[in-house]
Amino acid sequence: MNPKAMHKISYGMYIVSSVKSGQFNGQIANTAFQTTSEPAMIAVCLNKQNLTHEFVQSSKVFAVSVLSTSTPIEFIGRFGFKSGRDTPKFDGVNHRSGGTGAPIVLDHTIAFVEAEVVDTMDAGTHTVFLGKVVDADVLDPEAEPMTYAYYHAVKGGKSPKTAPTYIKEEPKKQAKAGDKWECTVCGYVYDPAVGDPDGGIKPGTAFEDIPDDWVCPVCGAAKSEFKKLT
């Protein structure tokens, strides 16, 4: 079987969020889809290890925020490569509570859908939650939704191992002059030709010359968590 065939299936980029005991949590998901229009139903697929899965399973409600193509990779990293068990993901993020109580992310969101769970399906490592849509709206009609392909090709993004579409990638050989380093936590690649301007690292800065307290701009991993690409 050729697993690369799975890469040809199209997906989007969303934040699936929920509430439990007054606490909010959310995660990046690429598997969210409308199942029927009458009644309006939507389904999401979440890893059983994720805190958001626990929240949805408990509260039986969730919201899906559709991300725009202009969403910063750091924002995606906040919801995609950090655990709500360690990080309050909604701190500093514009959001509001929906009618179900689930938080709706407003930053970088072009539309949202809010739903109440009516059924579930066990999918091994994941659970598919089927929800009846109770509210939905478009927040930015001019913006384009980010696709999973755009996230990989343009944003240079990777998939966490808990993603339903995760497929282990084969190591890619880099030119000797590249001196690129990869984050072993999220897959972000530091390219000295680009640097990390937002993190105070100018283009042309070798990885070895980066201060030891620098962290991955996507997931916040320490410099020591990087490995040189060969």
- Kindly report which listed range (102-106, 110-114, 174-178, 187-191) carries the lowest average pLDDT score: 174-178
Q: How confident is the model at residue 156 (pLDDT cuts 50, 70, 90)?
A: low
Q: How confident is the model at residue 168 (pLDDT cuts 50, 70, 90)?
A: low
All residues at 6 or more sequence positions from 93 whose CB lies less than 8 Å from its CB, including other chains: 78, 105, 107
Sign of CA dihedral 139, 220, 58, 131: positive
| Exposure string for 167-183, b = 16+ CB within 10 A, e = fewer | eeeeeeebeeeebbbbb
pLDDT of 157 reads: 52
Q: How confident is the model at residue 129 (pLDDT cuts 50, 70, 90)?
A: very high
Q: Kindly write down the DSSP assignment for every residue of the chain, as one continuous string.
A: --GGGGGGS--B-EEEEEEETTEEEEEEES-EEEEEETTEEEEEEEETTSHHHHHHHHH-EEEEEEEBTT--HHHHHHHHSS-TTTS-TTTT--EEE-TTS-EEE-TTEEEEEEEEEEEEEEETTEEEEEEEEEEEEES-TTSPBPBHHHHHHTS-----TTSTT--PPPP----TTT--EEETTT--EE-TTT-BGGGTB-TT--GGGS-TT-B-TTT--BGGGEEE--
- Spatial distance between the Cα atoms of 136 and 33, rounded to a whole number of angstroms: 14
Closest C-alpha among 80, 19, 6 to residue 55: 19
- Spatial distance between the Cα atoms of 60 and 114, rounded to a whole number of angstroms: 11
| pTM of the predicted structure, to 2 decimals | 0.80
Q: Summarize the confidence of residues 19-48 as an average pLDDT.
A: 97
Structural domains present in the chain: 10-153 (2.30.110.10), 181-228 (2.20.28.10)
